[in-house]
Amino acid sequence: MMELVTAVGIGVVAAAGVWLVLRPRTFQVILGMSLLTYAVNAFLLTMGGLRVGAPPVLESVVAPDPAEYVDPLPEGLVLTSIVISFSMTALYLVVLLTSRGLTGTDHVDGEESP
Amino acid sequence: MVDLTSRGIGGPITSQLVDLTPHLPVLPIVLPLAVAGFMLLLEERRRIFKAGLGAATMAALVLASFVLLNAVAGEADGVIVYRLGDWPAPFGIVLVVDRLAALMLMVTSLLGLASFLFAVSGWAIVSPRFHSLFLLLVMGINGAFLTGDLFNLYVFFEVLLAGSYGLLLHGSGRARVKAGLQYIAVNLGSSMLFLIGCGLIYAVTGTLNMVDIMRVAADLSTHDATLFRAGLAVLSVAFLTKAGVWPLSFWLPVAYPVATPPVSAMFVIMTKVGAYVLLRTVALASGVPETGVVEFLSPWLLYGGIATVVFGSMGLLASSHLPRIASYATLVTAGTLVAAVGTSDQRVISGALYYMIGSTLATGAAFLLAELITRLRPAEAPQAADAAVEPVFGDDYETSLQTDFEGYEVGIAIPAGTAMLGGAFVVAALVLAGLPPLSGFLGKFAIVSGVLSGGPELSWAAWVLAGVVLFSGLATLIALMRKGIDAFWRPGEETVAEVRSLEALPIGILLALCVALTLFAAPVVTYLDATGAYLANPVEYAKNVLEFGP
């Protein structure tokens, strides 16, 4: 059940993101990018297997039982990808504002479609 | 495994100091990163110092790549494995220098040195912080060539993309911002595909080390193997986008021509990063035939590459503007390389690598020449950046408001500038079109002869590949001849082009390298043949990477 809910949730967010990215306004595109990023990060997190109540950090160093812990690597990967995608989205926002300033329109082509 | 110290590199001085020679493989990443960070501390007015420091860094990278190239070329299976933090693979991240990576490092640093020298002759000052961004781009590219870890590859891709976003927007103006908007969107999308692919592959194999992934993939259950292939397919879409393979290449002819010339020249190597990763994937997979990855990927690469060459050739025929011609020539090279990977024939791959070296350098030279050629007819020159950048920091004033280089003189004007431009144009055109006597011809000859020597029952794809490779040469020739006649022979208000020594030097370096590649073809081809043979059977590579202990 948990898998199903997570999968449907990620799918809905990703679909919304894709739809927004394909819209003509730059603001819609950046919202779509953010949603897609969320979806991808959540997807990465599930790649270590979904477990409830299993910590990723070892609690005792004496003969730890790997079965009691969740794989910490995907969480490390997600952390990296959050930082990168967040900064890239911020950069994209700046370019978007520059484009708005230079062209006077918020269309992704820099001009209104006729 | 190659032991750098035992080969005498480093000299007697190492006996007194800490021996740094084993750390040479990490230098192409650490050096540009450190210098780029240091440069951010200096204000923009000290551009002469920054230019000198950057040029020295690029020269040091050329030297480091050369030493690495020599070290791996000395032995049949030369591989240097550098364990970051001394964690053994697959638990830690490894950098791997083999023949292919060393070759790509060499091409990157040579092209980077030439582009950087051209940039400091003027273009570097149209917007702030060019030098740091350029070095970060170089760091990302070098890292992508060196790393042996899938997620680390993602990080280096992001570093090189971040650098390229800044560089594409360098100089600002409406056209660049518009192209940048689309370029960033496409690359953000492909980065997400990269992450999804990474995640899927990690989920089924439980490792991120590229060699280990292939080792584990050999004994996956049918269920997991399907997921593995799905992950690999998603990952390949990301790489194919970066390589500019049709139909994922629409962003390239939009973005490359509008960037400033030295930036476009450096971008030429970026499409090769995508092709390099695909080649690396296929090479590693060919060592583990049980995975079936080679059979799975090869047709896509072959047909995609052929379609890219056709698309690039048509684009060439439709272009009259030199930066556009050079952009489509970039696509043709990338397509040829990807199609060659798709044949999984070591003769074709080594021929395509030879062709790739020459055409990368010549395309870079063509981007640099494009700007100088417009000076022949100043009245028809395209408008420069239509808006100056608003200063962000106090020291930006000096640089950002300067959109032309009046009174900023570097070097002395070269006599007979027009003749020099004409000569350089002819050399670049010969290499790109693949006409004798230069390296383009030898490269294309090697590809076609490799493709057609497959025995009596050649597949139709082999004939098509040989055909489109030759056709792309014809298309390049027509496009460049038309442009050459238009630029140099058409009567009109022609001024004598003023070419400064610091602008001529990088073009001279690139074209001299193309000529040297032809003159010293024998050692280069020997090296590349060994590369092709070694990639077809990467057992040594895998053994060295996964070797435990010191």
Interatomic CA distance for residues B428 and A10, integer angstroms = 50
**Per-residue model confidence (pLDDT) at position B411:** 54
> Is there a contact between A44 and B192 if contact means CB atoms under 8 Å apart?
no
Q: Tell me: the pLDDT tens digits for B146-167?
A: 998 899 999 999 999 999 998 8
| Domain membership flag for residue B436 | yes
**Per-residue model confidence (pLDDT) at position A59:** 75
A87 touches chain B (CB under 8 A): yes
Are B359 and B438 spatial neighbours (Cβ–Cβ below 8 Å)?
A: no
Which tokens is B13 given? 């001085």
CA distance A58 to chain B (A): 17
Mutate to test the interface with A, among B133, B184, B194 (most CBs of A within 10 A): B184
Of A47, A85, A99, which has the smallest distance from its Cβ to B199's Cβ? A47
For residue B172, give every residue at least 6 positions away whose Cβ sits within 8 Å of its Cβ, in sequence order, or none: A98, A102, B127, B385, B387, B388, B389
**Per-residue model confidence (pLDDT) at position B457:** 66
| Domain membership flag for residue B382 | no
Which tokens is A12 given? 């809905």
The total of other beta-carbon atoms located within 10 Å of residue A111's CB is 12
CA distance B145 to chain A (A): 20
A80 touches chain B (CB under 8 A): yes
Interatomic CA distance for residues B243 and B331, integer angstroms = 8
> Is there a contact between A98 and B177 if contact means CB atoms under 8 Å apart?
yes
Select from B388, B496, B476 the least CA-distant residue to B432.
B476
Mutate to test the interface with A, among B195, B196, B250, B254 (most CBs of A within 10 A): B195
Phi, psi angle pair for B288, to nearest 5°? -125, 75
Query: Alpha-carbon dihedral of residues A72, A73, A78, A79, nearest 10 degrees?
Result: 70
CA distance A45 to chain B (A): 8
> Is there a contact between B202 and A77 if contact means CB atoms under 8 Å apart?
yes
Select from B366, B328, B316 the least CA-distant residue to B506.
B366
CA distance A21 to chain B (A): 9
**Per-residue model confidence (pLDDT) at position B10:** 42
DSSP letter for each residue of B478-532: HHHHHHHIIIIIS-SS-PPP-EEHHHHHHHHHHHHHHHHHHHTHHHHHHHHHHHH
- State the amino acid at position B443 in one-letter form: G
Which tokens is B250 given? 């629409």
> Is there a contact between B181 and A108 if contact means CB atoms under 8 Å apart?
yes
Q: Tell me: the pLDDT tens digits for A17-30?
A: 999 999 888 889 99
ipTM of the shown complex: 0.92
A103 touches chain B (CB under 8 A): yes
For residue B202, give every residue at least 6 positions away whose Cβ sits within 8 Å of its Cβ, in sequence order, or none: A47, A73, A74, A77, B150, B151, B208
DSSP letter for each residue of A72-84: SHHHHHHHHHHHH
**Per-residue model confidence (pLDDT) at position B141:** 94
> Is there a contact between A84 and B155 if contact means CB atoms under 8 Å apart?
yes
> Is there a contact between B185 and A108 if contact means CB atoms under 8 Å apart?
yes
A38 touches chain B (CB under 8 A): no
Half-sphere exposure of B323 (CA within 13 A, CB side): 22
**Per-residue model confidence (pLDDT) at position B7:** 45
Number of domains forming the structure of chain B: 1
Listed as ranges, residues in chain A with pLDDT below 50 are none
Interatomic CA distance for residues B427 and B362, integer angstroms = 8
CA distance B50 to chain A (A): 25
| Domain membership flag for residue B463 | yes
Residues of chain B that touch chain A, judged by Cβ-Cβ distance less than 8 Å = 151, 154-155, 158, 161-162, 165, 169, 172-174, 177-178, 180-182, 184-185, 188-189, 191-192, 195-196, 198-200, 202-203, 206, 208, 387
Residue ranges making up the domain that contains B478: 24-377+410-547
Chain A residue numbers touching B169 (CB-CB < 8 A): 95, 98
SS3 state of residue B538: coil
Q: Which residue of A has its CA nearest to B170?
A: A95
**Burial label, B482 (beta-carbon count in 10 A; 0-12, 13-18, 19+):** middle
Mutate to test the interface with B, among A77, A83, A87, A111 (most CBs of B within 10 A): A77
Of A88, A96, A98, which has the smallest distance from its Cβ to B188's Cβ? A88
| Domain membership flag for residue B56 | yes
> Is there a contact between A92 and B192 if contact means CB atoms under 8 Å apart?
no
Interatomic CA distance for residues A34 and B345, integer angstroms = 42
Question: Which helix (H) or strand (E) segment is B56 a member of?
Answer: helix B47-73
Of B178, B188, B195, which has the smallest distance from its Cβ to A33's Cβ? B188
Are B529 and B93 spatial neighbours (Cβ–Cβ below 8 Å)?
A: no
Are B394 and B143 spatial neighbours (Cβ–Cβ below 8 Å)?
A: no
**Per-residue model confidence (pLDDT) at position B398:** 44
Cβ-Cβ contacts under 8 Å between A and B: the total is 85
Phi, psi angle pair for B96, to nearest 5°? -125, 120
Which tokens is B428 given? 């670049």
For residue B512, give every residue at least 6 positions away whose Cβ sits within 8 Å of its Cβ, in sequence order, or none: none
**Per-residue model confidence (pLDDT) at position B378:** 59
Of A88, A89, A110, which has the smallest distance from its Cβ to B178's Cβ? A110
Chain A residue numbers touching B191 (CB-CB < 8 A): 84-85, 88
| Domain membership flag for residue B384 | no
**Per-residue model confidence (pLDDT) at position B155:** 92
| Domain membership flag for residue B1 | no
Q: Fill in the DSSP letter of residue B375.
A: T
Q: Which residue of B has its CA nearest to A29?
A: B185
End-to-end Cα spacing for chain A? 49
CA distance A67 to chain B (A): 15
Mutate to test the interface with A, among B160, B202, B208, B258 (most CBs of A within 10 A): B202
Listed as ranges, residues in chain B with pLDDT below 50 are 5-16, 380-407, 549-550
Are B506 and B368 spatial neighbours (Cβ–Cβ below 8 Å)?
A: yes
CA distance A82 to chain B (A): 11
End-to-end Cα spacing for chain B? 12
CA distance A69 to chain B (A): 15
> Is there a contact between A21 and B151 if contact means CB atoms under 8 Å apart?
no
Interatomic CA distance for residues B405 and B395, integer angstroms = 18
| Domain membership flag for residue B209 | yes
Of A80, A92, A110, which has the smallest distance from its Cβ to B184's Cβ? A92
A5 touches chain B (CB under 8 A): no
Rg, C-alpha atoms of chain A: 19
CA distance A53 to chain B (A): 20
Interatomic CA distance for residues B509 and B362, integer angstroms = 10
Count of residues making up chain A: 114
SS3 state of residue B141: helix
Chain A residue numbers touching B158 (CB-CB < 8 A): 84, 88
Which tokens is B397 given? 């004033």
DSSP letter for each residue of B177-219: HHHHHHHHHHHHHHHHHHHHHHHHHHHHHS--BHHHHHHHHTT
Question: Which helix (H) or strand (E) segment is A112 a member of?
Answer: none
Phi, psi angle pair for B92, to nearest 5°? -105, 175
SS3 state of residue B359: helix
Are B114 and B368 spatial neighbours (Cβ–Cβ below 8 Å)?
A: yes
Interatomic CA distance for residues A31 and A10, integer angstroms = 16
Half-sphere exposure of B132 (CA within 13 A, CB side): 15
| Domain membership flag for residue B292 | yes
> Is there a contact between A108 and B151 if contact means CB atoms under 8 Å apart?
no
Interatomic CA distance for residues B49 and B68, integer angstroms = 28
Question: Which helix (H) or strand (E) segment is B472 a member of?
Answer: helix B460-484
Phi, psi angle pair for B454, to nearest 5°? -75, 5
Residue A63 backbone zone (phi > 0: left; psi -120 to 50: alpha; other: beta): left
**Burial label, B91 (beta-carbon count in 10 A; 0-12, 13-18, 19+):** exposed
Of B154, B181, B208, which has the smallest distance from its Cβ to A95's Cβ? B181
Count of residues making up chain B: 550
- State the amino acid at position B101 in one-letter form: A
Interatomic CA distance for residues B402 and B347, integer angstroms = 51
DSSP3 helix / strand / coil % (chain B, rounded to 5): 75, 5, 25
SS3 state of residue B131: helix
A29 touches chain B (CB under 8 A): yes
Q: Say what angle helices B346-374 and B99-120 make with each other, to 10 degrees.
A: 0
CA angle B499, B504, B510 (to 5 degrees): 150
